[in-house]
């Protein structure tokens, strides 16, 4: 399980930060979270394989999070980077997003006369104030769009298990921003614990059982031997939990799902860095910068740190930086500023904080 950041900028991209997108690799599949402008270019410059993208999750329909989806679909679903003949994946590309995602994609494809060779489907996470049914457009389905896109309604304020298989599930909750916005929580199913083979060998030898059964025990099976001994598998350990938020000035509603996350990805659009950032205005204080960030639906590093502490996250990654903050790899000044941002988050959180950079990968 690893994450590659494809874009870490807020409203304005820069030469070192592209618009929002990140790729989560789960085994051989890739799930994309957000798809800002030029995401497919970033994918081509990264180790992420276009043909491996099986699901796309959109946090909100602001352009810096969705403008890249039409060009990405036209490449992804026309075979670019696809699998070899005979190995095609029968699963359609699944897109999840807020109300309006389906209409935006259908409209974009229709008016650009884009024909796709493979199917896609859009599931919308509807809030209580959204229309609870329908497509939000009178346009006919695109020929590649499957008609079974779900409108997923909130239950007790949450969208739980919008997708789940034997190894992973994903849930979501609304988070506060200037427009409807969604945070996602990915939870791995409990995984087999580490096995100590020496605990089993005497029993196997006594019953003349080949050691190959150790593989079955490791996978979670309990085995009864001829003499009545039952060999129990090692206890399963909790799977990993990732929290991927969109833009927000208050993600409280996702807290019940997000507790004890192994990794929290939280935006930190604006920061006050007197003595570090030469562009700091004399009239600004921590309070004025926070008030301005909140008024635009965004957070400071300290706000991200407070939320990370609240949910007892084991690690915090900051992203979605103002265009003022170039990549730390750009020059020494940018490195000092980015380190200042990181320290502000640490001051409230206390744990490990990492600033996301374009093309950075993190193992979970
Ligand atoms: Zn944004
Ligand atoms: Zn936004």
* Residue where one domain finishes, among candidates 220, 237, 254: 237
* pLDDT 10s digits, 325-334: 999 998 999 9
Residues 123 and 233 in one domain: no
Report CA(209)–ligand 1 centroid distance (Å): 59
Neighbours of 216 (CB within 10 A): 13
User: Residue 216: how many CA atoms within 13 Å on its side-chain side?
Assistant: 11
Per the listing, tokens 């969109």 go with 246
How many Å apart are CA 161 and CA 146, to the nearest integer? 21
70 and 44, same structural domain? yes
Is the confidence at residue 183, as pLDDT, over 90?
A: yes
Residues 258 and 122 placed together within one structural domain of the fold? yes
Average pLDDT score over residue span 190-219: 90
Residues 219 and 292 in one domain: no
Mean pLDDT of all residues belonging to the chain:
94
**CATH number, domain with residue 108:** 3.60.15.10
Q: Are residues 286 and 345 in the same domain?
A: yes
Residue 223 sits in the same domain as residue 351: no
Question: What is the distance in A from the centroid of ligand 2 to the CA of 59?
Answer: 9
Closest ligand, as measured to the CA of 248: 2
Within its chain, how far is the Cα of 45 from the centroid? 20
Per-residue pLDDT at 81 exceeds 50: no
Q: Which of 237, 267, 300 is the last residue of a domain?
A: 237
One domain, residues 80 and 10: yes
Specify whether 36 is located in the same domain as 177: yes
> Do 246 and 223 lie in a common domain?
no
Kindly tell me if the per-residue pLDDT of 74 is higher than 70. Answer: yes
Which of 336, 16, 326, 364 shows the shortest CA–CA distance to 168?
364
pLDDT band at 16 (very low <50, low <70, confident <90, very high): very high
Please tell me whether residues 232 and 253 are part of one structural domain: no
User: Does 64 qualify as catalytic in the annotation?
Assistant: yes
How far apart CA 36 and CA 34 sit, in angstroms, is 6
**How far, in Å, is the centroid of ligand 2 from the Cα of 190?**
34
pLDDT at 83: 52
Evaluate whether 36 touches 78 at the Cβ level (below 8 Å): no
User: What is the mean pLDDT of the segment spanning 62-75?
Assistant: 97
Q: What percent of the chain has pLDDT above 90?
A: 88
318/292 same-domain check: yes
If one counts the domains in the chain, the total is 2
Rounded distance between C-alpha atoms, residue 210 and residue 231, angstroms: 14
Per residue in 114-130, is it b (16+ CB within 10 Å) or e — as a string?
bebebbbbbbbbbeeeb
Cα dihedral across residues 190, 194, 197, 203: positive or negative:
negative
Nearest bound ligand to CA 12? 1
Query: Do 114 and 219 sit in the same domain of this protein?
Result: no
**Domain range enclosing 198:** 192-237
* Cα 169 to middle of ligand 2, angstroms: 25
Ligand 1 mean position to 68 CA, how many Å?
13
The dihedral over CA atoms of 71, 328, 1, 269, expressed in degrees to the nearest 10, equals -70
Both tokens of 31, joined, read 């799930």
Q: Give the SS3 label for residue 363.
A: strand
Q: How far apart are CA 233 and CA 51, in angstroms?
A: 37
Residue 174's pLDDT band, with cuts at 50, 70 and 90, is very high
Residues linked to residue 242 through DSSP beta bridges, in sequence order: 186, 263
CB 10 within 8 A of CB 322: yes
What pLDDT, in 10s, does the model give residues 18-63? 999 999 999 999 999 999 999 999 999 999 999 999 999 999 999 9
pLDDT score of 220: 84
Point out which residues pair with 265 in neighbouring strands. 244, 317
pLDDT at 308: 98
Final residue belonging to a domain, choices 237, 253, 274? 237
Mean pLDDT across 260-268: 98
Most confident of 108-117, 202-211, 342-351: 342-351
> Which residue of the set 34, 64, 277, 358 is catalytic?
64
Q: Cα–Cα distance between 7 and 41 in angstroms, integer?
A: 11
Q: Which ligand is nearest to the CA of 11?
A: 1
User: pTM for this one?
Assistant: 0.91
């Amino acid at each position: 399980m690893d994450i590659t950041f494809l874009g870490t900028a807020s409203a304005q991209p820069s030469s070192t930060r592209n618009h929002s997108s990140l790729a989560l690799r789960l085994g051989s599949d890739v799930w994309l979270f957000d798809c800002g402008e030029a995401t497919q270019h970033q994918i081509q410059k990264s180790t992420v394989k276009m043909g491996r993208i099986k699901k796309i999750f959109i946090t909100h329909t602001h352009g810096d999070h969705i403008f890249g989806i039409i060009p990405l679909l036209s490449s992804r679903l026309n075979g670019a980077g696809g699998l070899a003949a005979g190995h095609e994946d029968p699963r359609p590309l699944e897109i999840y997003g807020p109300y309006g995602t389906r209409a935006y994609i259908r409209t974009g494809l229709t008016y650009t006369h884009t024909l796709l060779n493979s199917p896609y489907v859009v599931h919308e996470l509807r809030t209580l104030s959204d229309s609870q049914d329908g497509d939000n457009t009178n346009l006919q389905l695109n020929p590649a769009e499957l008609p079974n896109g779900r409108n997923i309604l909130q239950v007790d304020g949450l969208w739980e298990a919008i997708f789940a298989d034997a190894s992973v599930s994903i849930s979501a909750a609304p988070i506060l921003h200037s427009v409807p916005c969604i945070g996602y929580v990915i939870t791995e199913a409990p995984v087999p614990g580490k096995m100590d083979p020496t605990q089993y060998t005497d029993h196997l030898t006594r019953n003349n059982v080949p050691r190959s059964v150790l593989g079955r025990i490791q996978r979670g099976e309990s085995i009864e031997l001829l003499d009545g001994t039952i060999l129990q598998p090692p206890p399963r350990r909790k799977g990993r939990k990732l929290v991927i938020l969109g833009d927000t000035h208050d993600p409280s509603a996702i807290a019940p799902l997000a507790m004890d996350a192994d990794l929290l990805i939280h935006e930190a659009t604006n920061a006050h860095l007197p003595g570090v950032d030469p562009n700091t205005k004399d009239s600004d204080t921590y309070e004025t910068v926070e008030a301005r960030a909140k008024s635009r639906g965004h957070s400071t590093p300290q706000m991200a740190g407070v939320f990370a502490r609240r949910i007892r996250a084991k690690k915090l990654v900051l992203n979605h930086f103002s265009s003022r903050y170039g990549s730390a790899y750009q020059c020494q000044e940018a490195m000092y500023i980015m380190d200042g941002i990181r320290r502000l988050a640490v001051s409230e959180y206390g744990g490990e904080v990492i600033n996301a950079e374009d093309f950075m990968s993190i193992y979970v």
